[in-house]
Amino acid sequence: MLVKPRAITTAGIVQVLLASAFVVWLVFFPSKGSQFAWPVVPTFTAMFIGAGFIDRAFIGYFLWREKYWPRLRWQVPANYAFLIVIFLATYWHIDEMNWHSSILVAHIWVLAYTVEPILLFLIEPRAPEARAPLPPELRRGPISAGLKALIAFGLVVCVTIGSLAFINPEFLDTRWPWPLDPFDARIMAAFFALNALWGVTTYFATDWGEIRLAVLGMTIFAVSNFIVWLYILPQLDRSRPNVYTYGVAFGFFAAALIYYFWKHERRRS
Q: What is the pLDDT of residue 269?
A: 61
**Residue 1's pLDDT is what?**
84
Q: Residue 138: its pLDDT value, please?
A: 86
Note whether residue 1 is domain-resident.
Answer: no
Q: Measure the CA–CA gap between 75 and 225, rounded to whole angstroms.
A: 20
In-domain check, residue 88: yes
260 is in which domain, residue-wise? 6-130+138-268
Report whether 158 contacts 197 (CB < 8 A).
no
pLDDT averaged per 10 residues in sequence order, the chain, 269 residues: 94 97 98 97 97 98 96 96 98 97 97 96 92 88 96 98 98 98 98 98 96 98 98 97 98 98 87
pLDDT of residue 137: 86
CA distance 50 to 29: 10
DSSP code for 27: I
d(CA 109, CA 114): 8
Count of structural domains, the chain: 1
| Rounded distance between C-alpha atoms, residue 225 and residue 50, angstroms | 10
* Sequential DSSP letters for 179-248: ---HHHHHHHHHHHHHHHHHHHHHHH-S-HHHHHHHHHHHHHHHHHHHHHHHHHGGGS-TTSTTHHHHHH
In a domain, 79, yes or no: yes
